[in-house]
Structure 1
């Protein structure tokens, strides 16, 4: 015969559920944010920083810029026009220049500027395929 142990926390959760305290929670019945996606090792830190609105103040600008360059396709794919894509690439390239010549706070980064024509060509291909 198996014995079942209920911890005090399990008991409190069960009793609260029996009282209906979880019945009207915001988001009930909806998937958790990020469900089904891949997680990085430090996903919980990034999630916490985003929720707290602290991302910009915690990550040095040069490292934030490096992350932004890694996410370039994802960012431009959300832009509706070629003009906006080109403007974004121009702004990004200007910040890359500042970072590489030491005009931006944070550890040094080696980043190459992006070719706006190549970024736009990729943006067009992904839009046509999607």
Structure 2
């Protein structure tokens, strides 16, 4: 043992002697450093590995607009008109809540549309 071996080096050597690094997944494969110039590379890789939906990270108004863009097709999952109405009323409530909350922020004034529940229910019926 080298007299000047650091604590970290000693622990690594001891772990190697115990076989702690044997049979690790991806052993012998090159490391991927293709994106390390991006300061957020680690979080992007983590989100991809954990299969985190990045759409959920968008501001609420953007999420609401995307949701409205899916009407009426996104409503196909419902079998009952009462469920469609309840869902659309909840959507409108969330839009109105977002408008109240964003009124006090400095962000740009993007707004999500309130949907006409009756018109959208009719369009949903036509899908069925």
Q: Is the 8 A contact 1:66 1:109 kept in 2?
A: no
CA distance in 2, matches of 1:63, 1:125: 27
Q: Deviations over 1:11-39 (max 9, x none)?
A: xxxxxxxxxxxxxxxxxxxxxxxxxxxxx
Question: Whose RCO is larger (CA < 8 A, sep 6+)?
Answer: 2
* Distance in 1 of aligned mates of 2:92 and 2:111: 13
Deviations 1:37-82 (A, max 9, x none): xxxxxxxxxxx86x71233552222211111111121211221110
Aligned partner of 2:73 in structure 1 is 74
Q: How many equivalent pairs are there?
A: 80
Corresponding residue for residue 124 of structure 1: 125
Contact 1:62–1:99 (CA under 8 A) maintained in structure 2: yes
Which residue matches 1:85? 84
- Residue deviations 1:101-125 (CA, integer Å, cap 9, x gap): 2259x95422331111111111111
Bigger radius of gyration: 2
Map 1:35-74 to 2 at 5 A.
Answer: 52-55=51-54, 57-74=56-73
Separation in 2, partners of 1:54, 1:85:
25
Q: Is the 8 A contact 1:90 1:116 kept in 2?
A: yes
Stretches of structure 2 lacking an aligned partner (at least 5 in a row): 1-46
**Gapped regions of structure 1 (runs ≥ 5):** 1-47
- Per the alignment, residue 115 of structure 1 pairs with 116
- Using the size of structure 2 for normalisation, the TM-score is 0.51
In 2, Cα distance between equivalents of 1:74 and 1:98: 24
CA–CA distance in structure 2, aligned partners of residues 103 and 86 of structure 1:
26
SS of residue in 2 equivalent to 1:113: coil
TM-score by length of 1: 0.51
Matched residue, 1:29: none
Question: Over aligned residues, Cα RMSD in angstroms?
Answer: 2.9
